[in-house]
């Protein structure tokens, strides 16, 4: 009689082999919680693991990545945003369950909402026009994230119908909104690259933003102005004896840094076989041994240069210099359009935005600079706060870097002088976009 394996037992074995094994240890290290993940290797699983930790806004102090044949092991040293070990059992259980299911994929899904994707040329007042169109078209913005980099903008906006509170599914209405927004994004000179689209697909917001900016080739565009010395240092070399390309990234440490770098390597179709990440007080050092999905290393100088550009862009997209403002108030139709119009009329440029609504309350974070990227005048910020509401709009974080040129220009007295300065900055920015003046840093 021919022996046949028990189907149930075989299926259980396959499940055990493919399901990640997660161990969380708070005893080994005195300064961080250790999270270990062992699993069968597949493309993108490292990103899925890092994504779980990043979505909880955990700080990854160290990481060790190793892949041996068809198996991989990751070890993460994590803390909360205050630098403390994780002690909340519900958080530890969530991490264990989420990492244990990463083979099934994960996404921060917002059910019952229509997703609007926008890319185009950034300019002062653009978001004011976008949210004005949505308000006019009876679309309530429930959640949104906006990134800008190198003069480009990418945004995912989650909306619902104002009257019914449900998905927007009418095809004619969707086409009308898309056309209106495309005209806003085009402005006077962005006819080819402005894009708008509605989707009900399941997406991870921040990963999708990286993909949109990568597809928009923001990494190839020259920055309009850069007033920072914190430019990421990226090197790429080939280790011919072992068939790897070795990528090193050194930059200022921050939350979600590892996610941003791994996300872009994954979307560029590279596989990380080995890697380390370590941080000091404010610096991060990342090293990855990578190959293409077909097992070959980086093969040309143009490709090496593109990887450097893309990883620098991945790090810079989330960085900011300016003022972080938080708006917490009762939600109502047209609120965002009004606030953004106030920013625009006072010469404030929104470089990043995170918008969320829970029930009848809205909690929004805006990162703002003046029209050309300098830290905004504190007097101007206070003027804007008074117009929006001092109890609603609060300053959460000021710029860490003050530039001599900005300080000299800030000597203009009163809010009126600051407004004139912003208008002058806006003119200079427009002249730069037209190629009539050169960047001044």
- Decide: pTM greater than 0.75: yes
The span from the CA of 440 to the CA of 295, in Å, is: 44
The span from the CA of 25 to the CA of 87, in Å, is: 11
Q: Could you tell me which CATH number the domain at 17-104 has?
A: 3.30.70.260
Give the phi and the psi of residue 209 in degrees, each rounded to 5. -60, -40
Same fold, 114-205+213-220+321-433 and 230-318: yes
The span from the CA of 374 to the CA of 377, in Å, is: 9
Residue-wise pLDDT tens for the chain (441 aa)? 445 555 566 555 555 556 789 999 999 999 999 999 998 878 888 999 999 999 999 999 999 999 877 788 999 999 999 999 999 999 999 999 999 887 655 555 566 788 999 999 998 999 999 999 999 999 999 999 999 999 899 999 999 998 888 888 888 999 999 999 999 998 766 656 788 998 877 789 999 999 999 999 999 876 555 555 578 999 999 999 999 999 999 999 999 999 999 999 999 999 999 999 999 988 999 999 999 999 999 999 999 999 999 999 999 999 877 899 999 999 988 899 999 999 999 999 999 999 999 888 999 999 999 988 888 899 999 999 999 999 999 998 765 444 444 444 444 434 444 444 444 444 444 444 444 444 433
Question: Are the CB atoms for 257 and 53 separated by under 8 Å?
Answer: no
Find out if CATH 3.30.70.260 is the number for domain 114-205+213-220+321-433.
yes
* pLDDT for the residue numbered 426: 46
Residue appearing with tokens 């921050």: 254
Q: Which residues contact 408 (CB under 8 A, 6 or more apart)?
A: none
Measuring CA to CA, which residue among 325, 322, 343 is closest to residue 402? 322
Residue appearing with tokens 């939350």: 255
Quickly list DSSP for 4-28: ---HHHHHHHHHHHHSPEEEEESSS
Tokens standing for residue 161: 């119908």
Q: Which letter, b or e, does each residue of 19-39 get, where b requires 16 or more Cβ atoms within 10 Å of its Cβ?
A: ebebebeeeeeeebbbbbbeb
The span from the CA of 55 to the CA of 41, in Å, is: 22
Find out if CATH 3.30.70.260 is the number for domain 230-318.
yes
3-state secondary structure of 243: coil
Which residue stretches of 19-148 are H helix? Answer: 45-55, 89-100, 126-136
Q: Which residues contact 432 (CB under 8 A, 6 or more apart)?
A: 224, 225, 438, 439
Annotated domain spans of the chain: 17-104, 114-205+213-220+321-433, 230-318
3-state secondary structure of 424: helix
* pLDDT for the residue numbered 431: 43
Question: Are the CB atoms for 128 and 337 separated by under 8 Å?
Answer: yes
Give the phi and the psi of residue 363 in degrees, each rounded to 5. -130, 110
């Amino acid at each position: 009689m021919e022996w046949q394996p028990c189907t149930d037992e075989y299926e259980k074995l396959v499940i055990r082999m493919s399901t990640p094994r997660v161990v969380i240890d708070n005893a080994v290290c005195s300064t961080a919680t250790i999270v270990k993940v062992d699993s069968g290797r597949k493309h993108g699983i490292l990103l899925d693991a890092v994504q779980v930790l990043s979505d909880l806004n955990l700080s990854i102090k160290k990481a060790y990545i190793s892949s041996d044949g068809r198996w991989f092991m990751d070890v993460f040293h994590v803390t909360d945003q205050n630098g403390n070990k994780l002690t909340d059992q519900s958080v530890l259980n969530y991490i264990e369950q989420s990492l244990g299911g990463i083979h099934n994929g994960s996404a921060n899904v917002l059910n019952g909402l229509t997703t609007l994707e926008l890319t185009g040329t950034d300019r002062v007042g653009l978001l004011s026009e976008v949210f004005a169109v949505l308000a006019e078209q009876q679309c309530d913005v429930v959640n949104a994230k906006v990134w800008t980099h190198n003069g480009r903008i990418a945004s995912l906006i989650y909306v619902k119908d104002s009257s019914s509170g449900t998905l927007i599914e009418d095809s004619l209405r969707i086409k009308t909104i898309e056309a209106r927004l495309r005209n806003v994004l085009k402005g006077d000179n962005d006819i080819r690259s402005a894009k708008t689209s509605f989707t009900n697909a399941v997406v991870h917001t921040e990963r999708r933003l990286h993909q949109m900016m990568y597809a928009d080739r923001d990494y190839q565009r020259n920055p309009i102005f850069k007033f920072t010395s914190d430019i990421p240092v990226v090197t790429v070399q080939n280790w011919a004896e072992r068939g790897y390309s070795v990528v090193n990234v050194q930059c200022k440490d921050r939350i979600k840094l590892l996610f941003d770098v791994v996300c872009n390597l994954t979307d560029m179709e590279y596989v990380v076989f080995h890697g380390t990440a370590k941080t000091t007080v404010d610096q991060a050092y990342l090293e990855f041994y990578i190959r293409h999905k077909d097992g070959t290393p980086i093969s040309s100088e143009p490709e090496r240069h593109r990887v450097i550009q893309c990883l620098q862009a991945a790090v810079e997209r989330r960085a900011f210099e300016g003022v972080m403002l938080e708006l917490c108030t009762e939600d109502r139709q047209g609120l965002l359009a009004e606030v953004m119009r106030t920013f625009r009329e006072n010469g404030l440029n929104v470089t990043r935005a995170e918008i969320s609504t829970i029930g009848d309350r809205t909690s929004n974070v805006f990162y703002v600079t003046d029209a050309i990227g300098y830290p905004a005048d504190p007097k101007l910020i206070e003027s804007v706060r008074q117009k929006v509401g001092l109890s609603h709009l609060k300053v959460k974080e000021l710029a860490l870097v003050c530039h001599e040129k900005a300080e000299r220009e800030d000597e203009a007295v009163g809010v009126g002088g600051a407004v004139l300065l912003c208008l002058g900055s806006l003119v200079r920015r427009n002249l730069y976009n037209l190629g009539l003046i050169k960047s001044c840093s």
